[in-house]
Structure 1
Amino acid sequence: MNSHEIIKAVVSEPVAQTPINHRAAVLGFPIAHSRSPVLHNAGYQALEMADWDYSRMECTEEDLPGIIGDADESYVGFSVTMPAKFAALRCADEVTERAQLIGSANTLVRTEAGWRADNTDCDGVIGALGELLGQRLDQINRALVIGGGGTARPALWALAQAGITEVTVLNRSDRRAELAPLVEALGLSVNFINFGHDIRQAAIDAEVIVSTVPSAAVAGHESDLGHAPVLDVIYEPWPTRLTIAAAANGYRTVGGHVMLAHQAFGQFEQFTAQPAPKEQMRQALERSLR
Structure 2
Amino acid sequence: MSHPLEAGVVRHRAAVLGSPIKHSRSPILHNAGYEDLGMSDWDYTRIECTAEDLPRIVGEADESFRGFSVTMPAKFAALEFATEVTDRARQIGSANTLVRTDAGWRADNTDCDGITGALGELLGEALPETRRALVIGGGGTARPALWALAQAGISDITVINRSDRSAELGPLLEPFGVSFRFAGFDSDLRQASREAEVIVSTVPSAAVEGHEQDLGHAPILDVIYEPWPTPLTVAAAANGYLTVGGHIMLAHQAYGQFEQFTGRPAPRAAMRRALEASLH
The question of a shared fold, defined as TM-score above 0.5 by the shorter chain, is answered with yes
Q: Within 5 A, what are the aligned runs for 1:245-264?
A: 245-264=235-254
Write the distance in 1 (CA, Å) between the matches of 2:266 and 2:176.
29
CA distance in 1, matches of 2:139, 2:72: 11
TM-score (norm 2): 0.97
Q: What TM-score does the superposition give when structure 1 sets the normalisation length?
A: 0.94
2:166 to 165, 173, 176: 176
SS in 2 for 1:49: coil
Give structure 2 stretches of 5+ with no counterpart: 1-5
CA displacement 1:2-32 (0-9 Å, x = unmatched): xxxxxxxxxxxxxx95610000000000000
Q: Does 1:202 align with 2:192?
A: yes
**2:30 paired residue among 15, 20, 40:** 40
Deviations 1:174-225 (A, max 9, x none): 1111112112133211111001110100000000000000000000000000
Q: Are the counterparts in 2 of residues 124 and 258 from structure 1 also a CA contact under 8 Å? A: yes
Query: What's the secondary structure of 2:40's corresponding residue?
Result: coil
Instruction: Give the Cα separation in 2 of the matches to 1:186 and 1:212.
Output: 21
Task: Identify the residue that residue 9 of structure 1 maps to in structure 2.
Answer: none
- Give the greater-gyration-radius structure (CA): 1
1:161 is displaced (CA, Å) by 1.1
Q: For the residues of structure 1 that align with 2:40 and 2:158, how far apart are their CA atoms? A: 47
1:225 equivalent to 2:218? Answer no
1:145 to 127, 135, 145: 135
Q: Taking every aligned residue pair, what percent have the same amino acid on both sides?
A: 74
Distance of 2:237 and 2:171 partners within structure 1? 35
Q: Is the 8 A contact 1:18 1:50 kept in 2?
A: no
Instruction: Note the alpha carbon deviations across 1:220-257, whole angstroms, 9 max, x for none.
Output: 00000000000000000000000000000000000000
Q: Which runs of structure 2 are paired with 1:236-275 in the superposition (5 Å)?
A: 236-275=226-265
Q: Deviations over 1:124-175 (max 9, x none)?
A: 0000000000000011100000000100000011111111110000001111
- Structure 2 CA distance, aligned partners of 1:266 and 1:283? 17
Counterpart Cα distance in 2 of 1:68 and 1:58? 12
The alignment partner of 1:57 has SS state of strand
Secondary structure in 2 matching 1:123: helix
Unaligned 5+ runs, structure 1? 1-15
Matched, 1:235 2:229: no
Amino acid at match of 1:184: E
- Which secondary structure state, in structure 2, belongs to the residue aligned with residue 234 of structure 1? coil
Distance, in Å, in 2 between the alignment partners of 1:208 and 1:20 is 44
Q: Over residues 52-84 of structure 1, what are the superposed CA-to-partner deviations in whole Å (9 max), with x where a residue is unaligned?
A: 000000000000000011000000000000000
Amino acid at match of 1:197: S
Give the corresponding residue for 1:8: none
Deviation at 1:47, TM superposition (A): 0.2
> 4+ residue stretches of structure 1 with deviation over 2 A?
none
SS at match of 2:193: helix
Q: Quick check: 2:150–2:173 contact (8 Å CA) kept in 1?
A: no
User: 1:157-196, aligned counterparts within 5 Å?
Assistant: 157-196=147-186
- Following superposition of structure 1 onto structure 2, how do residues 66-77 of structure 1 map, counting pairs within 5 Å? 66-77=56-67
> Bigger shift: 186-195 or 227-236?
186-195
**Aligned-partner Cα distance in 1 for 2:272–2:18:** 22
Query: Equivalents in 2 of 1:110, 1:267: separation in Å?
Result: 12
Q: Which residue of 2 aligns with 1:25?
A: 15
Give me the CA root mean square deviation.
Answer: 0.9
CA contact (8 A) 1:18 1:51 kept: no
Find 2:48's aligned residue among 44, 55, 58. 58
Q: 1:129 aligns with which of 105, 115, 119?
A: 119
**Partner amino acid, structure 2, of 1:155:** A
